Amino acid sequence: MSAAPAITRRLASAVYDSLIVFAIALVATLPFVLAFGDSTHGWRRYALQAWIVVAIGAYFVTCWVRGGQTLPMKTWRIRVVRWDGARLGAWQAVHRYVLAWLSVAALGAGFLWALFDRDRQFLHDRLAGTAIVEARIEAKP
């Protein structure tokens, strides 16, 4: 496994990804509100939040399974892979996504883990059996 990219590059990628996540949340909200109406309180509020988490998860899981990269990860030349260097399967990508949410819920502690980890990996990557690595530039024929 190659060395982990610098934390600054991973954070820059995360900031870029947050813009895409914001857009996904906005787009995912429209059909929900059209179907269920006002979703600012009661069960609709929680259902909308769950719907948005699922929509964002679909984005990340699809990108990680297809090529190991979201658009920002391509820009910053980083990739998520299994510990053995292979591509992620769907269940492993879902597992990583859920664990990443837990890292966020723990006030970012799972991300701060990378500062102390011997391979500079996030805690959710350790637990999911994945790693963030430098993406190789593939030559076009």
Buried b (16+ CB within 10 A) or exposed e, 83-118: eeeeebeeebbbbbbebbeebeeeeeebbebbeeee
Q: Is residue 37 part of a domain?
A: yes
With contact defined as beta carbons under 8 Å apart, do 69 and 79 qualify?
yes
Domain limits at 116? 7-134
Measured between alpha carbons, how far is 55 from 39 in angstroms, rounded to an integer?
17
Please report whether residue 139 resides in a domain.
no
Widest distance between CA atoms in the chain: 56
CB 56 within 8 A of CB 25: yes
Amino acid residing at 72: P
Q: Domain for residue 129, yes or no?
A: yes
Structural domain contains residue 141: no
> Among 2, 1, 7, which Cα is nearest to 83's?
1
Tell me the C-alpha distance between 135 and 3, whole Å.
10
Number of domains in the chain: 1
Residue 53 lies in a domain: yes
Any domain includes 1? no
pLDDT by residue, tens only, the chain of 141 residues:
667 899 899 989 999 999 999 999 999 999 999 999 999 999 999 999 999 999 999 999 999 999 999 999 999 999 999 999 999 999 999 999 999 999 999 999 999 999 999 999 999 999 999 999 999 766 555
